[in-house]
Amino acid sequence: MTTERALVSVVDNDESVRESLPDLIRIFGYDVRAFSSADKFLDSEWLSRTNCLILDVAMPGISGPELEEELIRRGDQIPVVFITTAHKDENDRIPLMQNGEVACLFKPFSDVALQETLDRVFA
């Protein structure tokens, strides 16, 4: 019997993040897909399979918070973890955490911080 692993989707316009983050998430034991934009994620077959969404806050086109709002509007309830370099002040997390997001991690974040965050999502 094959057990299906939880799927984490990463949406970030930064190619280095899309290349490195999935490797780390796989080490933690999850399946992962990476997308360069919110539009590509929304148009993918993986949207309905995603169990957790790691979103860059500031992206060209649809931003991370705008993507989350669109998912809420559609009725998709996917746990969201924001990642950002744009908001270094702890007080800047407050507006990002209004819809029940799991966390907002500041880049660069530690492997441990990411693993603890994903452990909370899938507890």
Give per-residue pLDDT as tens, 45-69.
999 999 999 999 999 999 999 999 9
Q: Is the pLDDT of residue 95 over 70?
A: no
* Domain at 7-121, CATH homologous superfamily: Response regulator (3.40.50.2300)
Summarised one tens digit per residue, pLDDT across range 70-92 is 999 999 999 999 998 865 655 55
Give the predicted TM-score (pTM) of the model. 0.89
Rounded Cα gap, residues 88 and 106, in angstroms: 7
Element holding 56 (H helix, E strand): strand 52-56
pLDDT of residue 106: 87
Q: What are the φ and ψ backbone dihedral angles of 34, each rounded to 5 degrees?
A: -120, 140
Q: Is the pLDDT of residue 101 over 90?
A: no
